[in-house]
Amino acid sequence: MGPDDTVLVDSGYCTHAAQTVALVETALDGRKLDLLLNTHLHSDHCGGNDALQRRFPELEIRIPPGEASSVACWDENALTYRATGQQCPRFHFQALLEPGTALRLGGLAWEVHSAPGHDPNSVILFEPVSRTLLSADALWEKGFGVVFPELLGEPSFDDVAATLDLIERLAPLTVIPGHGPAFTSVADALQVARQRLTRQAANPSKHAHHALKVLIKFKLMEVQSISRAEWRRWIVETPYFELVRKRFFAHEPIEQISGELLSELVFAGAATASDTQIENL
């Protein structure tokens, strides 16, 4: 990539695709988007890929190698979109974002590092001169993303710990996370993340409970409003709920678990619920 080429990292969720395209157009001010890098392939990080590819036909998309075959044949089960009850329009990639390599972007060499945990195939990007880290969901200012492999019985808390150790060794001065504003209090963020990880590893069912609540909130953010009947149907038809229930809450019916989770969201001021309708807040 040349110093004047344009690059975007991750593209948001598909329901915001039009807004994403508009924001990119405004930022580019008449130029074209040359390169889109995906840190991982959760739907809220690559849901705008298709819209951007349609807007900029020459756009090159690079993805981490772990799920390249699933994207090539568009296997929504392997990509977990169907399992989590989420949407992601099909897109096509042109190259891989290989861990252990470096990309010349904006005249600077950005290192690509493997960052498993939240997602086994995730990567983070680090620029060692300015010591800037694009951390995706590996580190936020107040934690990190749900450790999804753990929900399916794939031990991954140690992967999260190893990724946090990697970030500490990189010693970034500025972190730009996948969610939330950029921050510079990196040592504090690592401490918060490690404390959370310790609690989750000690009580995996609490982590699973939190993960299901995240999926519900994500759905409400997508639809904004949903009838009780549609809500129940979505819960039943989303495989992750039953998989997690069997693994962590086998003594509770799915209706009870989902009702408790919704009540917690309402109590937290993140949703409202009547006998017939559920609204996002």
Burial class (CB in 10 A: 0-12, 13-18, 19+), 159: buried
What separation in angstroms does the CA of 89 have from each of 4, 41, 141? Answer: 29, 12, 30
Mean pLDDT of 174-183: 98
44-69 b/e (C-beta count within 10 Å ≥ 16 → b)? bbbbbbbbbbebbeebbbbbbebbee
The length of the chain, given as a count of residues: 281
Mean pLDDT of the chain: 96
Amino acid 138: pLDDT: 99
Domain 7-202 has CATH 3.60.15.10: yes
What DSSP character marks residue 147?
-
Q: How far apart are CA 79 and CA 200, in angstroms?
A: 24
- Name the residue among 149, 31, 58, 49 with its Cα closest to residue 90: 49
Residue pair 115/17 in contact by the 8 Å Cβ criterion: no
Amino acid 134: pLDDT: 99
Q: How far apart are CA 5 and CA 77, in angstroms?
A: 35
Q: How far apart are CA 31 and CA 11, in angstroms?
A: 18
The encoded tokens of residue 240 equal: 């992750």
Amino acid found at 117: G
Strands lying side by side in the sheet with 108-114: 102-105, 108-114, 123-127, 132-136, 174-177
Amino acid 190: pLDDT: 99
Mean pLDDT of 195-219: 96
Amino acid 259: pLDDT: 95
Amino acid 32: pLDDT: 96
Residue 2 has pLDDT above 80, yes or no: no
Residue 4 has pLDDT above 90, yes or no: no
Q: Residue 244 — very low, low, confident or very high, per pLDDT cuts 50/70/90?
A: very high
Q: What is the DSSP string of 233-277?
A: HHHHH-HHHHHHHHHH-TTS-HHHHHHHHHHHHHHTTSEEE-SSE
Mean pLDDT of 203-224: 94
Mean pLDDT of 37-62: 98
Residue 169 has pLDDT above 80, yes or no: yes
